[in-house]
């Protein structure tokens, strides 16, 4: 008894110490900076428009993005939940792809579609014989909205679609027999029962749109700065750390509010009763209007999900030799140059962020993140799995990093660890640590259910048969947890590989990561820089896709990751 109690404390101690030091300390540092600044200088760094403009724009774009996402996501959820049609499985798998793509990849993909050098403009230029791109969709609100819809439609499809398939069909039928027309039954019965999941998805989408960073930075440009982008600009271009800190606090407070609202809608008292364990069956579209709905909706989704990805891949394989002098004449051809160029170290300068170094760095960071996050997650999950009050109180502490954005984490690290010994070594250990913090909640979420799922009798049986605690873990727990652990490894690896927000603060010119390098390259002039950014994005996309495919294969059915 005594031994196991001290073991429990040890379990708690390690992850809590890690979180306190690397997550809560930087967070506190931001607060300290802002409020000490306030007393010293009387808020000189502060002006209302500087705060209200990005805040207002953040809310506005998140509102519009969420609205548009719902407009497409709700019918799409209905499509997948109710109808059986050829290609349904493929389209559904495709609809989940955006969720796992790194932000820089998505931003780059939309750049190749609607940017000045994008397909849309190239086609218009050659058709209408123009010398300059006619559409300037980049650095505009529509570009941001489009990317957000691309990103978050899958959330609505998954969350609401799940509820639609699991909603007991007898409720609707009972209402119909009691004299309700189809519309009345929908309004009075189905909709109220689906409302928690619709609201839940709305809040989650809003939260993601609100805290979106990479997409807004790369597609919105300087005029369309959200809080996150403004934090980045204030900290790294204006060196106004207190201002960045203040914006971070506002950002955190809003995020917290949204999360609280989420918890409220998540568990209405009828939640469980409304859903049945069996899924309602799919039916083919029968009437003409059903057929039209299925065809139009799947075409729209195909266009939304495929065009950016196809555009990115094809653009990375094509050269455009704009022949000078001849107006609008564009020579195009297939090429692998951008890919081969990635692996050649042309510039000897160490300040030049060369792709090869970025790839090597990213791989090292990701491997480290994978190990740190999974080890930490495993220990934390064990601690959280212990029944009792302590676990209930401490769970939010472990899950909070999920709410804090990567940019704020980056800022906190910049403030806290911008001194020896953290910056002295040649190796930036802070990047994998930041990535581990970002991956930790996801790791805990995939391991914790697995631990809770281990039957107690299994451990007890092992113990009765004389197994020591270590042997119990090896013989009873590990085989069951193995899947969840592998999922966590792959998950944290891909999260780290695509992470942009924190890395943009922490990666300097000598230690670039792939996403940071893509960001730098795509904003530089020159066809080769652009092409290399696309090539890197394509590789990153393929790696992420492979990673999540692996996760889907290993993951036990029925586990939800958000």
Partner 1 sequence: MLRVQNIYKEYENKPLLNGISFQVQQGELVCLLGSSGSGKSTMLRIIAGLEEPEAGKVFWNEEDLSEVPTHKRGFGLMFQDYALFPHRSVSENIAFGLRMADVPQGKIKTLVHAALEDIRMTDFADRAVTDLSGGEQQRVALARALAPNPRLLMLDEPLGALDHNLRTELIKELRAQLHQSQKPVIYVTHDQEEAFALADRLILLHEGLLVQDGSPEELFRNPATAWVASFLGLGNLVAGKAVSEHQFDTEIGGFNLKSTAPLETGQDGFLLLRPGDVLIGPESINSSNHFTAQVRDCVFLGDYFRVEVQAEESKLLIQSPFPLTPGDQVELAWPAEKLLCLPA
Q: Which residues bind partner 1 (CB under 8 A)?
A: 168, 170-171, 173-182, 184-185, 188-189, 192-193, 268-270, 273-274, 276
46, 130 in Cβ contact below 8 A?
no
How far apart are CB 243 and partner 1 at their closest, in Å? 47
How far apart are CB 48 and partner 1 at their closest, in Å? 44
Q: Is beta strand 283-284 parallel, antiparallel or unpaired with respect to 330-334?
A: unpaired
Q: Residue 102 is encoded by which pair of tokens? A: 């790194």
How far apart are CB 194 and partner 1 at their closest, in Å? 10
Instruction: Give residues with Cβ within 8 angstroms of 417, minimum separation 6.
Output: 26, 423, 430
How far apart are CB 178 and partner 1 at their closest, in Å? 4
Tell me the three state secondary structure of residue 367.
Answer: helix
Q: Residue 362 is encoded by which pair of tokens? A: 């990213």
How far apart are CB 297 and partner 1 at their closest, in Å? 25
CA distance 333 to 246: 50
How far apart are CB 170 and partner 1 at their closest, in Å? 4
How far apart are CB 172 and partner 1 at their closest, in Å? 9
How far apart are CB 169 and partner 1 at their closest, in Å? 9
Of 32 and 170, nearer to partner 1 (C-beta) is 170
Q: Is beta strand 318-322 parallel, antiparallel or unpaired with respect to 330-334?
A: antiparallel
Of 173 and 345, nearer to partner 1 (C-beta) is 173
Of 101 and 274, nearer to partner 1 (C-beta) is 274
Of 129 and 188, nearer to partner 1 (C-beta) is 188
How far apart are CB 281 and partner 1 at their closest, in Å? 11
Q: Is beta strand 318-322 parallel, antiparallel or unpaired with respect to 83-84?
A: unpaired
How far apart are CB 161 and partner 1 at their closest, in Å? 20
How far apart are CB 280 and partner 1 at their closest, in Å? 13
Tell me the three state secondary structure of residue 559.
Answer: coil
CA distance 526 to 13: 52
Instruction: From 530, 546, 441, select the one nearest 498 (Cα to Cα).
Output: 546
What distances in angstroms separate CA 218 from CA 226, 228, 396, 545, one per listed residue?
Answer: 12, 12, 32, 22
DSSP H or E stretch at residue 1: none
Q: What are the backbone angles phi and psi of residue 47, rounded to the nearest 5°?
A: -140, 145
Of 14 and 171, nearer to partner 1 (C-beta) is 171
Measured from the Cβ of residue 532, the count of other Cβ atoms closer than 10 Å reads 24
CA distance 266 to 202: 12
536, 521 in Cβ contact below 8 A?
yes
Of 134 and 182, nearer to partner 1 (C-beta) is 182
525, 533 in Cβ contact below 8 A?
no
Instruction: From 223, 224, 237, 232, select the one nearest 251 (Cα to Cα).
Output: 232
Instruction: From 537, 524, 545, 540, select the one nearest 113 (Cα to Cα).
Output: 537
Of 146 and 274, nearer to partner 1 (C-beta) is 274
Of 130 and 273, nearer to partner 1 (C-beta) is 273
How far apart are CB 43 and partner 1 at their closest, in Å? 49
How far apart are CB 156 and partner 1 at their closest, in Å? 21
Of 136 and 184, nearer to partner 1 (C-beta) is 184
Of 193 and 241, nearer to partner 1 (C-beta) is 193
DSSP state of 226: -
Of 182 and 396, nearer to partner 1 (C-beta) is 182
Q: Residue 499 is encoded by which pair of tokens? A: 């992470």
CA distance 238 to 244: 10
Of 268 and 403, nearer to partner 1 (C-beta) is 268
- Helix, strand, coil percentages (3-state) for the chain, rounded to 5, are 75, 5, 25
Residue for token pair 């791989």: 363
DSSP state of 275: B
Instruction: From 229, 237, 25, select the one nearest 144 (Cα to Cα).
Output: 229
19, 398 in Cβ contact below 8 A?
yes
77, 122 in Cβ contact below 8 A?
no
* Number of separate helices (H) and strands (E) present in the chain: 26, 4
Of 13 and 178, nearer to partner 1 (C-beta) is 178
How far apart are CB 7 and partner 1 at their closest, in Å? 40
Of 183 and 239, nearer to partner 1 (C-beta) is 183
Tell me the three state secondary structure of residue 330.
Answer: strand
């Amino acid at each position: 008894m005594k031994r196991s109690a001290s073991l429990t404390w040890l379990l708690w101690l390690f992850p809590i110490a890690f979180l306190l030091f690397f997550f809560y300390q930087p967070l506190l540092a931001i607060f300290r900076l802002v409020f000490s600044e306030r007393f010293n200088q009387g808020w000189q760094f502060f002006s209302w428009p500087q705060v209200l403009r990005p805040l207002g724009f953040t809310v506005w774009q998140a509102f519009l993005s969420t609205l548009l996402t719902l407009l497409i996501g709700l019918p799409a959820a209905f499509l997948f939940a109710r109808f059986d049609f050829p290609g349904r499985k493929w389209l559904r798998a495709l609809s989940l792809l955006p969720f796992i793509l790194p932000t820089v990849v998505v931003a780059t993909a939309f750049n190749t579609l609607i940017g000045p050098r994008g397909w849309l403009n190239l086609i218009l230029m050659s058709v209408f014989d123009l010398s300059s791109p006619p559409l300037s969709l980049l650095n505009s609100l529509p570009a941001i909205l489009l990317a957000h819809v691309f990103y978050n439609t899958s959330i609505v499809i998954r969350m609401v679609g799940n509820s639609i398939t699991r909603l007991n069909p007898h409720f609707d039928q009972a209402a119909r027999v009691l004299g309700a027309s189809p519309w009345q039954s929908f309004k009075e019965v189905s909709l109220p029962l689906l409302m928690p999941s619709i609201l839940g998805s709305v809040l989650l989408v809003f939260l993601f749109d609100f805290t979106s960073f990479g997409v807004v930075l790369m597609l919105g440009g300087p005029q369309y700065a959200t809080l996150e982008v403004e934090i980045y600009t204030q900290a790294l271009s204006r060196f106004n750390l207190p201002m960045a800190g203040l914006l971070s606090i506002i950002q955190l407070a809003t995020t917290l509010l949204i999360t609280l609202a989420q918890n409220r809608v998540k568990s209405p008292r009828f939640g469980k009763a409304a859903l049945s364990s069996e899924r309602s069956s799919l039916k083919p579209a029968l009437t003409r209007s059903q057929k039209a709905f299925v065809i139009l909706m799947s075409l729209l989704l195909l266009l939304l999900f495929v065009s950016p990805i196809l555009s990115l891949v094809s653009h990375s394989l094509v050269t455009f030799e704009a022949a000078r002098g001849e107006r609008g004449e564009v020579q195009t051809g297939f090429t692998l140059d951008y890919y081969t160029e990635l692996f050649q170290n042309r510039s000897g300068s160490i300040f030049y962020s060369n792709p090869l170094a970025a790839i090597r760095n990213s791989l090292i960071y990701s491997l480290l993140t994978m190990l740190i996050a999974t080890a930490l997650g495993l220990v934390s999950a064990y601690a959280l799995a212990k029944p009792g009050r302590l676990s209930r109180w401490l769970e939010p502490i472990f899950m909070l990093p999920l709410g804090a954005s990567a940019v704020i984490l980056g800022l906190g690290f910049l403030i806290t660890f911008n001194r020896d010994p953290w910056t002295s070594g040649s190796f930036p250990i802070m990047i994998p640590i930041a990535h581990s913090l970002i991956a930790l909640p996801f790791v805990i979420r995939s391991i914790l259910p697995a631990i809770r799922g281990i039957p107690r009798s299994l451990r007890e049986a092992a113990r009765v048969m004389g197994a020591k605690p270590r042997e119990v873990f090896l013989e009873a727990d590990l085989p069951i947890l193995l899947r969840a652990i592998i999922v966590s490894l792959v998950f944290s690896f891909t999260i780290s590989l695509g992470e942009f927000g924190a890395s943009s603060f922490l990666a300097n010119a000598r230690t670039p990561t792939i996403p940071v390098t893509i960001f730098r390259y795509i904003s530089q002039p020159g066809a080769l820089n652009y092409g290399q950014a696309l090539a890197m994005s394509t590789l990153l996309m393929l790696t992420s896709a492979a990673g999540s495919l692996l996760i889907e294969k290993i993951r036990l059915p029925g586990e939800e990751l958000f």
